Amino acid sequence: MSARELITEHLDLWSGAVTKKSSSGRGSKGKVELTGVKKLRELILELAVRGKLVEQGIPTESSPNLVALMEQEKSRLVASGRIKKPKAVCSTQLESYPFDIPKAWGWYSLGALGYTQTGSTPSKSQNELFGSDIPFLKPGDISDNGDIFYENEGLSEAGKATLGKWAEKGSILMVCIGTIGKCGLIEQQCTFNQQINSVTPYIPEVSRFLMLCLKSPYFQAAAWEKSSSTTISILNKGKWESIPVPLPPLEEQHRIVQKVDELMALCDRLEQQTSDQLEAHETLVDTLLGTLTQSENATELADNWARLAAHFDTLFTTEQSIDKLKQTILQLAVMGRLVEQDDEDEPASHLLKCIDKEIGQRVSEGTIRKPKALAMVEGSFPYDLPKGWRWEKLGRFTLIGTGATPSRGRPDYYSPPEYPWVTSGETSQAFICDTKERVSSLAVKETNISIYPAGTLIVAMYGQGKTRGQITELKVAAGTNQACAAIQPIIKDESHRRYIKLCFIKLYDEIREVAAGGAQPNLNTGKIANTLIPLPPLTEQNRIVQKVDELMALCDQLKERINQASETRCQLAEAVVEKGLSA
């Protein structure tokens, strides 16, 4: 089977292998990686450098002839003083061959094929060294796909002269510190910093094939293998230029580059087609899920849900679509449209009266302080609620506290480690059964730490990335640091507590938006207490959380099936790659 057949006969496999890459937080859109197309691009490059991408004709020349021309050009450059005399060209020993190559090809170290340099940076205190005479490139100016951005920063002619090194048009740059392996072919003369190495082929016509070699999985793996790492990965120039490179005759290089361009264009079209299909699917899912939340009454909702349920297997085929279904379920739950209302249910106003009575009793017993009065709930609301429900602030029916961080200079505050101590980063878990750190009884006695009982809900008030607004539930008694709010429902009812948690998961994005601050916006207990909650009758809360559990379990089953299918497709793609390389 030819390379072309190997690729084109498996287009459905390449386009079907899709994985979720990342998401920025609860309720956010996850990025999707087209794993199959990525594997296909890698396969094309690997076949190219192994001499398996184009037919092998009767060679009219060999790579040693080409290297001889390189030697002549190198001697001319050295004699003219343009470059220093590099190490002599040497073939890789037979036992060191990474893989077999065609007879007319040869193995040579990267440094034998071109002049190599490591960049440097002029003194930032000398403004006259910077300007727009020549681009000054850094790793961020080289994209993952090899595009070069020349406009971000430049040097003056004086800056270029100070460095005494630059790369000519047709040179290949590779990042060799940090994001090792990113590389690009420059189309104009450039300078670059110390995180980048360059190779300028002695024969310019070699540049494009050499670029394919450096981007290939073989060379990328070799570069990482030769790198050293402490806190950051580093590949020095000596080790980089010693990596063996397979070199075909020049005529075959041109045919390989042309075939790679053709097949990469096919990958572009396949990638665009797959992305368009995913986008169209996402739009369809959004529209159909929107019919649920926009239903005017229970009958219309039931009809729309039945229509959706009949096509679950074709609609919910990606992790993104299932995550959106989960968000819609939560939206219907807090709007009072997920379960039927029962006229026999005691309204939320009755629940609030019971809560007021419980608060009064605890205040008189001295077990709690009298809560601060909250401003009345008034103004416009996000949506209308069913009969028996009411909008109410969280602080009206819960107790809200926070914690503290004992002095790190007091070892006796942390030893013996007796009480679990929650940090905001740990709120990413659905439940907390244990913590990374614990505090001592002395810390609880002498600091502002409170030990909250199991069942307390913990919300992150600030923290890095997606942390702010996350909610978790204590399964053990624990204290918290000052970056967490502890929410204790007045009524000790499991469904009530779970409904509050459900509301916070649904309101994740909205809660984050009310945070105040500059570089790191913060919530506080006052903002948490004033969070507006759609409060149903207590018995309906029980029905809601049961239905949510039932539907979330269905979503998890769908997601598991999708993950298994995606994993299978990725494994098949890997198998096809292996087949192509071993052919």
- Domain final position from 500, 515, 536: 536
Place of tokens 């002029």: 122
Residue 63, SS3 per DSSP: helix
Compute how many other C-beta atoms are within 10 angstroms of the C-beta atom of residue 317: 19
Are residue 282 and residue 311 in the same domain, yes or no?
yes
Place of tokens 């065609």: 102
Are residue 353 and residue 491 in the same domain, yes or no?
yes
Give yes or no for a contact between 396 and 374, defined as CB atoms under 8 angstroms apart: yes
- Domain final position from 248, 270, 288: 248
- Domain final position from 248, 267, 302: 248
CA proximity to 228, closest of 266, 176, 155, 292: 176
Are residue 189 and residue 270 in the same domain, yes or no?
no
**Burial of 23 per CB tally in 10 Å (0-12, 13-18, 19+):** middle
Domain limits for position 381: 348-536
Alpha-carbon span 115 to 39, nearest angstrom: 32
Are residue 239 and residue 92 in the same domain, yes or no?
yes
Are residue 107 and residue 50 in the same domain, yes or no?
no
Token pair for 70: 């390189």
Alpha-carbon span 197 to 187, nearest angstrom: 16
Are residue 216 and residue 273 in the same domain, yes or no?
no
- What angle do helix axes 35-49 and 207-215 make, rounded to 10 degrees? 130
Token pair for 94: 């037979």
Residue 493's alpha-carbon distances to 14, 56, 363, 539, 557, in angstroms, are: 51, 76, 20, 10, 29
First to last CA, the chain: 8
CATH value at residue 114: 3.90.220.20
Q: Please report, in tens digits, the pLDDT of each residue of the chain (583 residues total).
A: 555 555 555 555 555 555 554 444 444 444 556 677 888 888 889 989 999 888 877 766 778 888 888 888 888 888 888 888 876 645 455 456 788 899 889 999 999 999 999 999 999 899 999 999 999 999 999 998 899 999 999 999 999 998 888 999 999 999 999 889 999 999 999 999 999 999 999 999 999 999 999 999 999 999 999 998 767 889 999 999 999 999 999 999 999 999 999 989 988 888 888 888 888 888 888 888 888 888 777 778 788 888 887 777 778 888 888 899 999 999 999 999 888 899 999 999 999 999 999 999 999 998 888 888 888 888 788 889 999 999 999 999 999 999 999 999 999 999 999 999 999 999 999 999 999 999 999 999 999 999 999 999 999 998 778 899 999 999 999 999 999 999 999 999 999 999 999 999 999 999 888 876 656 678 999 999 999 999 999 999 999 999 999 999 988 988 888 878 777 766 766 666 666 666 5
Q: Quick one: pLDDT at residue 67?
A: 85
DSSP codes, 141-203: GB-TTS-B--SS-EE-HHHHHHHT--B-TT-EEEE-BSSTT-EEE-SS-BEE-TTEEEEEESS
Give the phi and the psi of residue 574 in degrees, each rounded to 5.
-60, -40
Token pair for 357: 């009575």
Are residue 265 and residue 383 in the same domain, yes or no?
no
Q: Quick one: pLDDT at residue 461?
A: 94
Are residue 109 and residue 226 in the same domain, yes or no?
yes
Are residue 236 and residue 328 in the same domain, yes or no?
no
Q: Quick one: pLDDT at residue 79?
A: 85
Are residue 8 and residue 53 in the same domain, yes or no?
yes
Are residue 505 and residue 524 in the same domain, yes or no?
yes
How many domains does the chain fold into? 3
Alpha-carbon span 422 to 272, nearest angstrom: 45
Are residue 206 and residue 169 in the same domain, yes or no?
yes
Alpha-carbon span 414 to 440, nearest angstrom: 5
Alpha-carbon span 566 to 560, nearest angstrom: 10
Give yes or no for a contact between 494 and 502, defined as CB atoms under 8 angstroms apart: no
CA proximity to 394, closest of 528, 484, 233, 544: 528
Handedness of CA 455, 461, 462, 464 (dihedral sign): positive
